[in-house]
Structure 1
Amino acid sequence: MNSNDRAIVALVSVAHGMVHTYELSIPIFVSIWLVEFDVLPLGLTQLEVTAATLGLVVTAGYGLFGVGALPGGVLVDRIGSDRLITASLFGMAGSFVLLGLSPNLLVVTLALLLWGAAASVYHPAGLALLSKGVAERGTGFAYHGIAGNVGTGLGPLVTAILLLFVDWTAVAVLLAVPALVAGAYAMRAEFDETAAVDEDPVPSDSAGGAASAVDGGSGGDGRADAGVASLAEFGVESRRLFAGGFALVFVVVMASGLYYRGVLTFMPNLLESLPGFDPIPLISVLPPAVTDALGVRAGSGRAINPERYFYSGLLIVGVLGQYLGGKLTDRIPVELGLAGGFGLLAVLGVAFLPAADAGIGPLLAVGAVLGCALFFVQPFYQATVAEYTPADARGLSYGYTYLGVFGVGALGGAIAGAILTYATPAALFATLAGFGAVGSGVGAYLLRRRRKVAERAELP
């Protein structure tokens, strides 16, 4: 990579790590909020706190994380990525300070909404920046994904460790500090946001149609800074995107989001009832000198919760899946990666509970594969969006992408909470397997269509 590539990848990697540090720390807090809060106060009425209630609360924040990606994508095409990434980092820091000051579940909900709004602009800004500014796009996506997975895994891990010694409110405030530092770094970063577009020799398609082998085109018309100037133009550009293969790609990203959020939101709660996940009193594993220095006393309730570390480990091994997926996007058809990756997720949805019943060893093995598979598909759908959309609407296309992944996908948390409240974990994992099957089926269809297009192009 050249110096411009490295500067962009450094910034988006830091920011991506921060986004997912906060995003995946929230399920750790969910297990605490189920015990901490009895009701959700709503003025003249209140709701009893259940898994279904918390599923809706978390869905509100995660949903805004996705819904805000669409206007975020429009802003990217109008004002660029740099300022939006900086604002996102400072906004996320403020939201976690408010979370730490929350006296009840209503303020928790408001803090999550603020976090969702601040975080929502990152993905369209960061991914548009990568796709237009980085010459080695596939490698850039891979490093970007790895950084996100580091945040995804280390965020919950650091949260779990801090919870051994301080209350969750203090942990939330402490977690705000890294985003403040990252925001200061973002203010100083310098690079050319459109370097890769300027160098792109692909001729423009005046109809805004297919410049790729299928029908999206990563070249587009080259208007890197055109963007959407009005509501009418927003409608025109949106119809242009969905008139082609991007409509099917959007189905894939929705399936990914529903599976991702559905399996992760209540994962710690699902695990804590399994054999081998009983809390381990901290005083029983640390020497007396250490516990005395830390102020941990017998009967304090401070304990190691194994399910939190399993959950963190599952996310950390996703680094391998993310890196492999990113590298393979430059070597195999992206549609093939979608079909295979989502097919594996469907199989894992069926296999997870039988593996848990078989013992801790099989559960660890299936959990590791699940962690890899969850993130293996992400570089593929990110690169697929770049292939199926024109460059001048890249911010808008990634806005729609993360509307699907994190907006529609946020419903996975509400679906999971409702199923766990009114049905069984087996019903939840069967539903997740269905999401995987949909993504795999659409990927296979796109692959067949790509091959037919290639065959027609070879005919004399």
Structure 2
Amino acid sequence: MALNANDRSIAGFTMAGHALVHWFETSIPIFLVVWLAEFDVGTTLLGLIVALGYAPFGLGALPGGILADRYGTKRLILCCLTGMSLSFLVLSLATSIYAIAVGLILWGIAASVYHPAGLALISTGVEDRGTVFAWHGIAGNAGIALGPFVAATLLISLDWSLVAALLAVPGVLAVIYGLSVGFEPTAAVADEADAGPDEALSASELLGNTRTLFASAFAVVFVLVTFEGLYYRGTLTYLPEILHGLPAMNGLPLPAGLEGIEPADYIYVGLLVVGIGGQYAGGKLTDRVTPARGLTGIFAVLAVLALLFIPATAAGIGLVPVIVLCGVLGFFLFAIQPFYQNAVAIYTPPDARGLSYGFTYLAEFGFGAASIALGGFVLDAFSRTAFFALIAGFAAVGGLVAGVLLLGSGRFTETQSVAETNADD
């Protein structure tokens, strides 16, 4: 079924926003080596500064969701795109490590509002939600892969400050496009509770809406997204390092002139590219498979894949099994995302959709980031085997939680308006 005009407009707008959030996000690490030399600082200090930039990306999702419900999703996404672009222009003008810190923190604050606003817009404005969730995810994966690739390529011949400024150009173009595009942001919920901007919520109303959400099936969704985030962030953070350390990578012959290329990096980028197919397939399947069933099945697959990395990364294993396993992992790691995004849309009321996605990405990027610290400790203190067992454990628990949603499918229904629920109380 072809998308209608409103769906197409929302799809184009949110795809641009999603791609650019991850375009900026994944380009930042490429600058680290340059900044270490440019400002003569230690890795510890620079790592802390970069962490300060990434922290608001997850922690700001909840207030971002509240702002989306209050001021409207399109307005907030435009502010996000403008803020991210200006932040990279600040970076391009930086003459000290402290100015770098300011630019990164501003980027994290601006970027944090995108996911709750963008997904809320799709969930309330799009009729063919599964298809647009799929294309939205594909755009995000494209940004994830292109950001570091473009940054690294430009840095070969250009100064880092100019590269930072050039990376801001697509963001400026997206703002211009967003100002010109028109759509109805609540077309898919026209007969439901008003999902548009409302008067500012008081503290008691916000607490009441939160209580209503967590008294519903959304509480189950929140927990399973947390474990998906633990799996996702831990895997993508440490897999490049693990791949670099494999004997199969060290013995790989390269053609003349390509000796500086790291095969592990290309395998990792390939994983992200395969994820584009996973996003699309997962989004299309949400039209045919219930979120609970899809989440349960994919969590089970992810647990098995994590365990398969134990023998696949053992000494003496060839390169082909590793490449195949990374490809399959990339597919399912991103195929799961449209299912939990659709679960939020199903089990939450339209008038609290921004708040719902705010909590969702607090779980995904905020709580999920705990696996970076935990995974690093396990790798240092124990082994790769223990690390992959830990990652598999995250998926196993997520699958059990999704099973609760599946077993309760007869009782879990779409949540009524929070205004109606609070009135009933």
TM over 0.5: yes
Alpha-carbon spacing, 1:284–1:101, altered in 2? closer, same or farther (3 Å): farther
CA contact (8 A) 1:279 1:304 kept: no
How far apart are the structure 2 equivalents of 1:282 and 1:162? 23
Question: Are 2:168 and 1:176 aligned?
Answer: yes
Choose from 64, 77, 85 the match for 2:69.
77
Give the CA deviation at 1:354: 2.3
Bigger proportion of residues as helix: 2
Correspondence for 1:348: 305
Question: Are 2:412 and 1:440 aligned?
Answer: no
What residue identity is the alignment partner of 1:122?
A: Y
Question: Are 2:230 and 1:271 aligned?
Answer: no
Point out 4+ residue stretches in structure 1 off by more than 6 angstroms.
Answer: 31-38, 279-283
* 1:121-200 equivalent positions in 2, closer than 5 A: 121-166=113-158, 170-198=162-190, 200=191
Give the CA deviation at 1:349: 1.8
What residue identity is the alignment partner of 1:67?
A: L
* 1:206-245 equivalent positions in 2, closer than 5 A: 219=192, 221-226=193-198, 228-245=200-217
Q: Percent identity?
A: 50
Q: 1:317 aligns to what SS in structure 2?
A: helix
Give the CA deviation at 1:230: 1.4
Choose from 314, 327, 331 the match for 2:284.
327
Give the CA deviation at 1:433: 1.4
CA contact (8 A) 2:92 2:164 kept: yes
Of 165-174 and 77-86, the range deviating more from structure 2? 165-174
* 1:40-55 equivalent positions in 2, closer than 5 A: 49=44, 54=47
* 1:412-451 equivalent positions in 2, closer than 5 A: 412-451=371-410
Q: 2:313 aligns to what SS in structure 1?
A: helix
Correspondence for 1:7: 9
Deviations 1:79-127 (A, max 9, x none): 1111211111121123334445556766554433222211111111111
Correspondence for 1:257: 229
Give the CA deviation at 1:166: 4.5
CA contact (8 A) 1:268 1:311 kept: yes
Alpha-carbon spacing, 1:37–1:347, altered in 2? closer, same or farther (3 Å): farther
Give the CA deviation at 1:169: 5.2
| Alignment TM-score, normalising by the size of structure 1 | 0.80
What residue identity is the alignment partner of 1:139?
A: T
Alpha-carbon spacing, 1:145–1:247, altered in 2? closer, same or farther (3 Å): same
Give the CA deviation at 1:39: 5.1
Unmatched runs of 5 consecutive residues or more in structure 2: 414-425
Give the CA deviation at 1:359: 1.9
Give the CA deviation at 1:33: 7.0
Of 348-357 and 249-258, the range deviating more from structure 2? 348-357
Choose from 360, 366, 371 the match for 1:407.
366
Of 131-140 and 376-385, the range deviating more from structure 2? 131-140
Give the CA deviation at 1:137: 1.2
Deviations 1:196-223 (A, max 9, x none): 111x4xxxxxxxxxxxxxxxxxx5x345
Correspondence for 1:305: 262
CA contact (8 A) 2:124 2:195 kept: no
Unmatched runs of 5 consecutive residues or more in structure 1: 41-47, 201-218, 287-301, 455-460
How far apart are the structure 2 equivalents of 1:110 and 1:353? 41
How far apart are the structure 1 equivalents of 2:386 and 2:199? 44
CA contact (8 A) 1:58 1:109 kept: yes
Give the CA deviation at 1:228: 4.9
How far apart are the structure 1 equivalents of 2:168 and 2:150? 13
CA contact (8 A) 1:27 1:268 kept: no
Give the CA deviation at 1:400: 0.8
* 1:81-100 equivalent positions in 2, closer than 5 A: 81-100=73-92
CA contact (8 A) 1:64 1:120 kept: yes
Root mean square deviation of aligned Cα:
3.0
Deviations 1:293-315 (A, max 9, x none): xxxxxxxxx93232322221111
What residue identity is the alignment partner of 1:273?
A: G
